[in-house]
Amino acid sequence: MFRTTQHDTTQRQRRFLAGGLSVLLLGLSLAGCGSDTPEQIKLTGQLEAKAEAPHLDEQTSARISLVEHSAASGQDQIVAERTVHGIQRLPTGFTMRVGSALLDTANEYGLSAQLLDDDSEIIWQTNAPVAVDVFSKDKTTRLTLMPYRVAPEGPFVTYRCSDGFQFQLSHDAKGAVVRLGKRQISLHVAKSLTADATRYVDAHNDEIVSENGMTSIYFDGISHHDCSAVSEESGPDSPE
């Protein structure tokens, strides 16, 4: 028979407490590893006006977009956006945080911006996304905005697509303006996949491609093909 002394009991209690503490610390360590939040990348920049600064007030807002260009597919998509309210003057600075999990070192990135009035209509915008190295320490980018509604020379032409969709288009060598009902969208000329095609895009991945007399339009995530001109109008103020 073994005799149990007070000293033995105290030693066992100490060993038990030490073991329990080790298990508790291990559990906390594992819990901490699982609760880490994804790293965020901070982008900073400045919005500037190309010409005389527009009239702005407390109702004006800026929408800043981070656009990703896929090296594999050649397509652009917006991976992050931030809206800043109360833009009353230019130049003005901005800050944007993006989760690193959204970014891919194999792709290229650019920042674009738009100024919106109190009706959320675009009044000024960048002509094209400005390249930014999101993985470098220096991520300060200057974004130059220009008036949004600068119509190309020439009249608006009404187009009808094979599915019945209609839109009006005015374009030249530098850009295009599309009218969809009361909406008016400006696009800039972009690189085409073939030598015979003319392609216009904007920062939100809207796109128009004309080739061999036929036009395709991709807006709001929906594409319409085999669009051809059906009539001409005297100008952008003509009735629809």
Task: For residue 195, count other CB atoms closer than 10 A to its CB.
Answer: 6
Q: Is residue 4 part of a domain?
A: no
| Shared-domain flag, residues 74 and 140 | yes
| Residue at a domain's end among 128, 147, 166 | 147
Type of residue numbered 171: H
| Shared-domain flag, residues 94 and 60 | yes
Q: Is residue 2 part of a domain?
A: no
pLDDT at residue 93 in the model? 94
Q: Is residue 30 part of a domain?
A: no
Rounded CA separation 70/88 (Å): 35
Which domain CATH number covers 65? Answer: 2.60.40.2990
Across the range 25-31, mean pLDDT stands at: 39
| Shared-domain flag, residues 194 and 101 | no
| Shared-domain flag, residues 67 and 135 | yes
pLDDT at residue 27 in the model? 41
Cβ density class 49-78: b for 16+ within 10 Å, e for less: beeeebebeeebbbbbbbbbeeeeeeebee
Q: Is residue 64 part of a domain?
A: yes
Q: What one-character DSSP code corresponds to residue 16?
A: H
What are the tens digits of pLDDT across the range 103-147? 999 999 999 999 988 877 788 889 889 999 999 877 789 999 988
Sign of the Cα pseudo-torsion (45, 51, 56, 61, in order): negative
pLDDT score of 31 more than 70: no
* Helical (H) or strand (E) element with 26: helix 6-34
Confidence of residue 24 (pLDDT cuts 50, 70, 90): very low
Q: Are 177 and 168 in contact (CB under 8 A)?
A: no
Plot region of 226 (φ>0 → left; ψ -120 to 50 → alpha; else → beta): left
Rounded CA separation 119/92 (Å): 21
Give the mean pLDDT of the chain. Answer: 79
| Shared-domain flag, residues 48 and 95 | yes
Question: Between 3 and 203, whose confidence is greater?
Answer: 203
Range of the domain at 60: 40-147
| Residue at a domain's end among 107, 129, 147 | 147
Q: Is residue 240 part of a domain?
A: no
Confidence of residue 38 (pLDDT cuts 50, 70, 90): low
Q: Whose CA is closest to 141, among 8, 46, 18, 73?
A: 46
Total number of domains constituting the chain: 2
Q: Is residue 100 part of a domain?
A: yes
Residue 194: phi and psi, rounded to 5, are -130, 160
Q: Is residue 5 part of a domain?
A: no
pLDDT score of 98 more than 60: yes
pLDDT at residue 102 in the model? 92
Rounded CA separation 146/149 (Å): 9
Rounded CA separation 224/149 (Å): 24
pLDDT score of 236 more than 80: no
Q: Is residue 78 part of a domain?
A: yes
Q: What token pair was written down for 11?
A: 């030693």
